[in-house]
Amino acid sequence: MNSDVEQRIRDRCMDDGLLYPAYEDYCFANIPHTIQSIFGTGMSEGLPEHVLPDTGDWDRVIVFLVDGFGLSNWKEYGDHDFIQRMESNGTVTPLTSIYPSETAAAMTSFHTAKLPSEHGSIGWNVYDPEWDSAFKLFGPEVKSGSELTPEQQENAYIGDSIYPKLNDAGVDSHHVVSMDYTYDGATLHSYTKENPSEAGQKLLQAAEVAEDPSYLFCYFPQLDGIGHDKGNRSLEYERSTYYVFDVIQDVIDNLPETEDTLVAITADHGQVDKSGGYDLEDYDWVMNALRRHIGTDIPVKFSGSPRNVHLHLQDGTVNDVADKLRQEFGAHVFTRREVLDRKLFGPGTQSPEFKRRVGDLVVTHETEAIWYGEESDEFDLVGLHGGLHPNEMLVPFATAELEELKQ
């Protein structure tokens, strides 16, 4: 473990109990740049060179992404044989997630090599004032306001994926995912979400048909879901962690031996177990201040998530609401100007979509949920993410050559 990197990240990026993204170097969003650099297709080198083995010449890259498995989880389950193999025979480097530390935003960055400030996916829910629509990104599912046109649905986020470019360079990309779709330019190998062992079988099949140079991506969402439902300290989480890493270990041991395959394990974010929450619908000073959908008295509510709340407010109310959120909730509150100046969503070129979707206030809390009682199921979740707690923000990036990981 590169523990000195973790300490440098904390020293440089911690402020008032929050850990901000290390966008310039040790950040999850730089992984796709590193992958492109390995295959000679990237404009940026991505992560610092020392996160990879010294040889630096691979015809095949395999990435296992374990959703929600933060650095604190990696350390807690360090007794698993495969994690010990990675620690002994590879390189494990702490990275930060992006902001928000959510799958919708982070995985869009992972597949497009763009930051939220560029692709406009700034939370699970987005309010676009130009469209006057509050919608859930993937679907997309309109929650209030205007229905989306086909063109707007197509442009819910901005940025083409990296796979057509890899394909043009002769790189054969394969995705093992628990959905029935994936990005253009990659071959889909879909599996049943509840069956991680099926993911392992699909990856072995993908490895057989992939033509080098090749990039294989395998996605495990199971631990994130169990963390949401049961918490990161539950027996169910422990059992599932060992099961998922048993599957990964079995895949590694059954892949054909080769000297030119790089294996990487990472996560898009971690989680924090909450103990309570704040229902914004209980506070008239919030609800009365919310902007209304055009021509109605319906408040604009669904923007962001319970750890990354975007409040779109009426003129003249911003400062008062911000002060009360800090005083009554103990929340961390950023004005729109502070968000843009701090480059909270990334230092890249800010797209028009991003600029108009950012709330007048962006609100997070050190440990708790802040959301609307209308979606009460959000308060039933135990493990949460999206904010700036170190357990949400720090993730592992472990790399090794395939031959070094085999039993």
The CATH number assigned to the domain holding 333 equals 3.30.1360
297 pLDDT more than 90:
yes
- 91 half-sphere exposure, CB direction, 13 A CA radius: 16
Q: What is the pLDDT of residue 140?
A: 84
Integer angstrom CA distances of residue 138 from 123, 129, 202, 320, 347: 11, 18, 24, 33, 24
User: Are 212 and 180 within one domain?
Assistant: yes
155 pLDDT more than 90:
no
Cβ(369)–Cβ(375) below 8 Å: no
The CATH number assigned to the domain holding 79 equals 3.40.720.10
69 CB contacts (<8 Å, ≥6 apart)?
Answer: 223, 224, 241, 267, 270, 395, 396
Band of the pLDDT at 31, cuts 50, 70, 90? very high
Would you put residue 102 in left (φ > 0), alpha (ψ -120 to 50) or beta?
A: beta
Q: What is the pLDDT of residue 388?
A: 98
Q: Is residue 344 part of a domain?
A: yes
Q: Is residue 8 part of a domain?
A: yes
User: Are 266 and 395 within one domain?
Assistant: yes
Mean pLDDT of 386-395: 98
Amino acid present at 192: T
Domain boundaries, position 285? 122-156+275-380
User: Are 256 and 280 within one domain?
Assistant: no
Give the model confidence (pLDDT) of 339-389 as tens digits. 999 999 999 789 999 999 999 999 999 999 999 999 999 999 999 999 999
Whole-number Å distance between alpha carbons of 213 and 192: 28
User: Are 335 and 195 within one domain?
Assistant: no
Q: Is residue 141 part of a domain?
A: yes
Q: What is the pLDDT of residue 363?
A: 98
The number of distinct structural domains making up the chain is: 2
User: Are 265 and 248 within one domain?
Assistant: yes
Q: What is the pLDDT of residue 303?
A: 97
User: Are 173 and 311 within one domain?
Assistant: no
User: Are 254 and 300 within one domain?
Assistant: no
Q: What are phi and psi of 144, to 5 degrees?
A: -160, 160
Residue whose C-alpha is closest to residue 252's, from 263, 241, 244: 263
Q: What is the pLDDT of residue 351?
A: 93
The helix (H) or strand (E) run that includes residue 392 is: helix 390-393
User: Are 182 and 223 within one domain?
Assistant: yes
Give the model confidence (pLDDT) of 248-277 as tens digits. 999 999 998 777 999 999 999 999 998 889
Cα 199 to its chain centre, rounded Å, is: 20
Q: What is the pLDDT of residue 154?
A: 83
Q: Is residue 117 part of a domain?
A: no
User: Are 281 and 267 within one domain?
Assistant: no
Q: Is residue 12 part of a domain?
A: yes
54 pLDDT more than 90:
no
Give the model confidence (pLDDT) of 65-101 as tens digits. 999 999 999 999 999 999 999 999 999 999 999 999 9
Q: Is residue 335 part of a domain?
A: yes
User: Are 193 and 247 within one domain?
Assistant: yes
Q: What is the pLDDT of residue 119?
A: 93
Q: Is residue 385 part of a domain?
A: no
3 pLDDT more than 90:
no
Summary mean pLDDT of the chain? 95
Give the model confidence (pLDDT) of 103-147 as tens digits. 999 999 999 999 999 999 999 999 999 999 999 988 789 999 999
User: Are 166 and 299 within one domain?
Assistant: no
Q: Is residue 217 part of a domain?
A: yes
42 pLDDT more than 90:
no
224 pLDDT more than 90:
yes
159 pLDDT more than 80:
no
User: Are 267 and 133 within one domain?
Assistant: no
Whole-number Å distance between alpha carbons of 247 and 405: 14
Helix (H, G, I), strand (E, B) or coil at 343: coil
For residues 54 and 246, which has the higher predicted lDDT (pLDDT)? 246
66 CB contacts (<8 Å, ≥6 apart)?
Answer: 220, 223, 244, 265, 266, 267
Mean pLDDT of 382-407: 96
Q: What are phi and psi of 162, to 5 degrees?
A: -80, -10
Cα 84 to its chain centre, rounded Å, is: 25
Q: What are phi and psi of 396, to 5 degrees?
A: -85, 150
Residue whose C-alpha is closest to residue 243's, from 229, 222, 228: 222
